[in-house]
Structure 1
Amino acid sequence: MASCSGSAPGAERKPLSIDESSLAQAQAPVSQRSGPEISRVPYPVAGNGDASQNWGDLYLPAGVHKADSVPLVVLIHGGAWHRSIGAGDFSYFAQDLVGRGVAVYNIEYRRVGSGGGWPTTFTDVASALGHIPDIVDQTPELSGKTEVVGHSAGAQLATWAGSQTAHPEHQLGKYPSFKPDRIVALSGPLDMTNATNLSDLDMVNAVGGTPLTAASRYEDVDPIQNIDPSIPVVAVHGTADTTVSWQNSQRYIQALLQAGGNGRLDLLYGDTHGSLITSGTVHYQYVMETITDSLLE
């Protein structure tokens, strides 16, 4: 009877060398699932946290995945830094992203009206990003290639907190030891002083003052005042946005380029503040592709 193994009967199989064994392990799948897997992952904060808000939902994509093969999108929801909107309102966006083959960590944080505001909202998000290396270490299929994406207030938080490794410690405490490969800011108030001067009272409530009465706070968390030229940033903004003017993103990208950084401004004609993250609208798939294409190259 012929051998099914393809070896002559009685022949001894040559053991794998160390190098071959390591290669075989790296090529073997570490996960196989028929649909996306979602798990709630808490992140630690300094001082007293809130277990009901200091967490992120980790979405892992369906299919077969080898070790170190899946990139991660860290998603930060908007909502004017106010408790009325939370991470659950961005779950559809996370589901659409994970359906494109990336992992997603959709984070929650304390907001104005739910224990947030200054400085908690900002330190929570910094802590959530600081926890990303641990999540990558504990999830074998994650490659470590990471992008931080935020919408509206979340874009401010993403662009600020994602750019902190190059800056010294200040009144908000230690910055996260985490550096994303890229930041994507959607409809973001990336020049907070300019946005506040255009009557953004939500921002005044979140920071606890105006640029005149709380100048040092704006210096600490305003993205345009905390640029890291080594991190590429794509700012996406609708030309019909009446909540946050597209010129706000333009000002940030111009400042990033002047600092020697890599920045790009994508203006989406006719889009409002929320339409570019609304499924079925003209540019929704373009936004999805902007977020995922460079990660999946």
Structure 2
Amino acid sequence: MASRHNYGSDPSQYGVLYGEGPVAVLIHGGFWKAEYGLELMDALCADLASRGWAAWNIEYRRLGNGGGVPFTLDDVGAAIDHLSELPGVDLSRVVTIGHSAGGHLAAWAATRENARVAVTGVVSQAGVLDLQRAWDLRLSNGVVERFLRGQPTDVASPIERLPLGVPALLTHGGRDDIVPVEISERFARASGASLIVEPEEDHFGHLDPGNPLWKAVRAWL
């Protein structure tokens, strides 16, 4: 059973809540672009809800519909804070779980100031955790420059906002040709976060509840 809740007035400012219990905030990827949406995380949400979690699958403004810095960041923060108004959630444990650009947002969320609802753990699935390196590599045709909208990388780049202050797990596929594994490796060295690399997996195995990359997340949780 899932229920939709708005955390703001924009059409993209909503989330879908599955289950009850400690909270997993699911943040989808797609390089912050409007053509990708929260349905990417539906299967993971259903899996978490079946295991006693409240899964909060959030949408946010993206490039092409009002997103970018600071608006996307504002939305993620507001969506997490909105948990204080939702039924059946245990705010003593709030873990952000994000894939790709969502992994970037999941880690960034742990570093935000004046949070009404605190993040207690982070899972980054092939996350874009170093925006300067992603810019240098011209990932997704240089999308980082569009996302930053003229702001410096340290406003939004998790590797420049350390320490996270909470436990963190990084998962990555060794065959990922969309977000190179070196980005998770760099972040792990800088932060001390745990890193699990599955050598034979690609960028999208993270979204399959039966995949070893997701099983590693479940075990860590």
2:20 is the alignment partner of 1:56 = no
One-letter amino acid matched to 2:104: Q
2:142 is the alignment partner of 1:183 = no
Q: Of 72, 87, 90, which aligns to 2:41? A: 90
Distance between the aligned counterparts of 2:12 and 2:108, measured in 1?
20
- What is aligned with 1:5? none
Deviation at 1:294, TM superposition (A): 4.7
5 Å matches for 1:7-86? 37-44=1-8, 49-50=9-10, 52-60=11-19, 70-86=21-37
Contact persistence 1:148–1:184 (CA under 8 A): yes
Change (3 A) 1:277 1:203: same
Deviation at 1:85, TM superposition (A): 0.8
Change (3 A) 1:294 1:242: closer
Tell me, what secondary structure is at the counterpart of 1:183? strand
Distance between the aligned counterparts of 1:71 and 1:162, measured in 2?
17
One-letter amino acid matched to 1:146: V
> How many residue pairs align between the two structures?
219
Q: Deviations over 1:11-48 (max 9, x none)?
A: xxxxxxxxxxxxxxxxxxxxxxxxxx21112214xxxx
Q: Deviations over 1:62-115 (max 9, x none)?
A: xxxxxxxx2111000001100111112321221122122211000000111112
Rg larger in structure = 1
Contact persistence 1:188–1:244 (CA under 8 A): yes
Change (3 A) 1:190 1:237: same
2:146 is the alignment partner of 1:205 = yes
Q: Deviations over 1:205-251 (max 9, x none)?
A: 21125xxxx4x2x1110000112342111110111111111110111
5 Å matches for 1:140-159? 142=90, 144-159=92-107
Provide the identity percentage: 31
Distance between the aligned counterparts of 2:189 and 2:85, measured in 1?
34
Q: CA RMSD in A?
A: 1.9
Gap runs ≥5 in structure 2? none
Greater Cα shift, 145-154 or 90-99: 90-99
Q: Of 224, 227, 252, which aligns to 2:187? A: 252
Taking structure 2 as the reference length, what is the TM-score of the superposition? 0.91
Deviation at 1:143, TM superposition (A): 5.7
- The higher relative CO (CA closer than 8 Å, separation ≥ 6) is in 2
Contact persistence 2:3–2:18 (CA under 8 A): yes
Contact persistence 1:152–1:189 (CA under 8 A): yes
Deviation at 1:279, TM superposition (A): 4.7
5 Å matches for 1:105-120? 105-120=56-71
Deviation at 1:270, TM superposition (A): 1.4
Tell me, what secondary structure is at the counterpart of 2:186? helix
Distance between the aligned counterparts of 2:62 and 2:81, measured in 1?
19
Change (3 A) 1:290 1:146: farther
Contact persistence 1:82–1:112 (CA under 8 A): yes
Distance between the aligned counterparts of 1:220 and 1:266, measured in 2?
27
Contact persistence 1:238–1:269 (CA under 8 A): yes
Taking structure 1 as the reference length, what is the TM-score of the superposition? 0.69
Gap runs ≥5 in structure 1? 1-36, 62-69, 166-174, 258-262
Change (3 A) 1:293 1:101: farther
2:74 is the alignment partner of 1:123 = yes
Deviation at 1:253, TM superposition (A): 1.3
Structure 1 residue runs of 4+, over 6 Å off? none
